[in-house]
Homo-oligomer: A and B are copies of this chain.
Amino acid sequence: MVYDACVEVKLREGIADPQGSTIEKATANLGFSGITNVRVGKCIRFQIEAEDDQEANNIVTELCNSFLTNPVIEEAVIEIQVAG
């Protein structure tokens, strides 16, 4: 079966996020008020072929651990659903 996978890679709490800070300052300068805690992550979407949900989940988890994230500073949230 083909699954749609979405991996959100985000910086762990407490890790500085310069990109987010820059956006936060810019929003204030542009006249948007009340915007706080801006954090910027990556969203990696792809399709994957697997026998079942469990296998798809295992492959994506391995992919995350082996090279989509840097586990020291990043964490991943995985979402998988049947494509279509």
**Interface 1/0s, chain A 27-44, versus B by CB < 8 A?**
100101111111111111
Contacts of A33 in B (CB 8 A): 49
Cα distance A80–B30 in the bound complex, in angstroms? 21
Q: Is the CB of A45 within 8 A of B39?
A: yes
CA distance A35 to B10 in the complex (A): 22
Q: Work out how many copies of this chain go into the complex.
A: 2
A25 to B8, CA, bound (A): 20
Known contacts: A59-B32, A63-B32, A67-B26. The answer to whether A47 contacts B37 by CB under 8 A is: yes
Question: A48 vs B33: C-alpha distance in the bound complex, in angstroms?
Answer: 8
A24 at the interface (CB under 8 A from B): yes
